[in-house]
Amino acid sequence: METGAAGRPYDVVLFGATGFAGGLTAEYLAAHAPAGCRWALAGRSRARLGALRHRLAERRPHCADLPLLVADSEDPDSLRELAGSARVVASTVGPYVWYGEGLVAACAEAGTDYVDLTGEAEFVDRMYVRYDARARETGARLVHACGFDSVPHDLGVYFTVRQLPEGVPLRIDGFVRAGAVFSGGTFASALTAFGRGREILRAAHERRLHEPRLVTRRAHAPLSGPRFSRETGTWALPLPTLDPQVVTRSAAALERYGPDFRYRHYASVKTLPMALGGAAVVSTGVLAAQLPFVRSWLMDRYEPGRGPDADRRARSWFTVRFVGEGGGRRVFTEVSGGDPGYDETAKMLAESALCLALDELPKTSGQVTTAVAMGDALLDRLRAAGLRFRVAYSG
């Protein structure tokens, strides 16, 4: 095998292809990967990979010869071989804090681009501390959060910034609404995060010690209190997800975001009772996750690998509205699409992998965001694939 990434046998390898999100991503690639794109399925079980290939080939006969690669997140040798065979590896194997590090390490060492679906702040921070420097040396681009966490928010803000003047302080608020259900894998990741508060804070602190600080510019995402948003006509609840961190990292890396950038991130609900109910559910989940026996019981009831059926996903939707201000201008923008947790997430992950493998992009390396690594190219891909980015008001 040639050592340069361009000479490797596969453009894209999908790791975790037999899981719920992995299967949907495989179906998307089967339908949309361009002719000549060399891609493969990877996972622990050759039998399950073969069954998935057979299912894909029933609708897409050209998939009958898809290569199958056996690799295990607990087998470092298999991960090194996997990373060395591909230009880009896309991983759907979570919770990432438990199962994700080995593949990130292998990709950073091999100079292989990597994308995943994580929304786990602890995992992203630990991967930065441990592998960003090596990835910069080898040229690997490590791009986390390439699904609903955090593509609509990162690229939505990127799109909004482009509607505002350059070289001035910018203020953007994002308001998230969604109608969807989530799978066992998503539930497991959320429950894991709820139960690891101290570890999350420790990882964030360690990252701050390693991360270069901005000197002449500022990018921050303060956590504000609940409020009624006159711009959207909804109650806005602070949403302490990974998304604002991703947005501010894009802002820190890209001067187009101005000398002083602020982003606030909210869940948007129509009525005050709904807002109070949502806060109560989240609080209950956080408390439950602190008790190991409750956490284990919930994990058993909502095991990974299962998710909503096609009819339920077809009824699901999301909308993220952004209010941006700067230099005397104000804009309202919107990003929207279908099922956020699965169909659209599979689309975002697959298009991110294809973008890194096939498109002309800015020269970057290390741990980077979708806006920094792919920017306009990924935005164009997602719009062509059916996600809507629009300006609702500009004045």
Task: Give CA separation, 329 vs 160, 163, 232, 252, 332, in Å.
Answer: 12, 9, 18, 22, 10
What would the pLDDT profile of 135-189 be if each residue is shown by its tens digit?
A: 999 999 999 999 999 999 999 999 999 999 999 999 999 999 988 665 444 445 4
Predicted confidence (pLDDT) at residue 293 exceeds the cutoff of 80:
no
pLDDT value, residue 55: 98
**Can you tell me the distance from the alpha carbon of 384 to that of 221, in angstroms, rounded to the nearest whole number?**
30
Same fold, 5-146+344-379 and 151-340+387-394: no
Mean pLDDT taken over the chain: 89
Burial of 360 (0-12, 13-18, 19+ CB in 10 A): exposed
Predicted confidence (pLDDT) at residue 79 exceeds the cutoff of 70:
yes
What would the pLDDT profile of 231-281 be if each residue is shown by its tens digit?
A: 899 999 988 889 999 999 999 999 999 999 999 999 998 765 555 555 544
**Can you tell me the distance from the alpha carbon of 155 to that of 262, in angstroms, rounded to the nearest whole number?**
15
Given a contact cutoff of 8 angstroms between Cβ atoms, the answer to whether 265 and 385 are in contact is no
pLDDT band for position 31 (cuts 50, 70, 90): very high
Pairing of strands 113-116, 141-143: parallel
pLDDT value, residue 336: 97
Predicted confidence (pLDDT) at residue 282 exceeds the cutoff of 80:
no
pLDDT band for position 73 (cuts 50, 70, 90): very high
What would the pLDDT profile of 85-133 be if each residue is shown by its tens digit?
A: 999 999 999 889 999 999 999 999 999 999 999 999 999 999 999 999 9
pLDDT value, residue 93: 95
The encoded tokens of residue 166 equal: 């350059």
Contacts of residue 57, Cβ cutoff 8 Å, sequence gap at least 6: 63, 64, 66
pLDDT value, residue 312: 87
Radius of gyration (C-alpha) of the chain in whole angstroms: 20
What's the mean pLDDT in 302-330?
A: 85
User: Which conformational region is residue 115 in: left (phi greater than 0), alpha (psi within -120 to 50 degrees), or beta?
Assistant: beta
- Give the domain ranges of the chain: 5-146+344-379, 151-340+387-394
pLDDT value, residue 239: 87
pLDDT value, residue 187: 47
pLDDT above 90 coverage of the chain, percent: 76
pLDDT value, residue 179: 84
- Which CATH number describes the domain made up of 151-340+387-394? 3.30.360
> Superfamily for 5-146+344-379?
NAD(P)-binding Rossmann-like Domain (3.40.50.720)
pLDDT value, residue 286: 46
pLDDT value, residue 198: 87
Which segments of 73-186 are extended strands (E)?
86-91, 113-116, 141-143, 170-179
pLDDT value, residue 273: 54
Predicted confidence (pLDDT) at residue 190 exceeds the cutoff of 80:
no
Predicted confidence (pLDDT) at residue 193 exceeds the cutoff of 80:
no
The SS3 of residue 95 is coil
pLDDT value, residue 7: 87
pTM for the full predicted model: 0.90
- Taking the CA atoms of residue 274, residue 118, residue 46 and residue 27 in that order, the dihedral angle to the nearest 10 degrees is 60
What's the mean pLDDT in 218-224?
A: 93
pLDDT value, residue 329: 97
What would the pLDDT profile of 338-383 be if each residue is shown by its tens digit?
A: 999 899 999 999 999 999 999 999 999 999 999 999 999 999 999 9
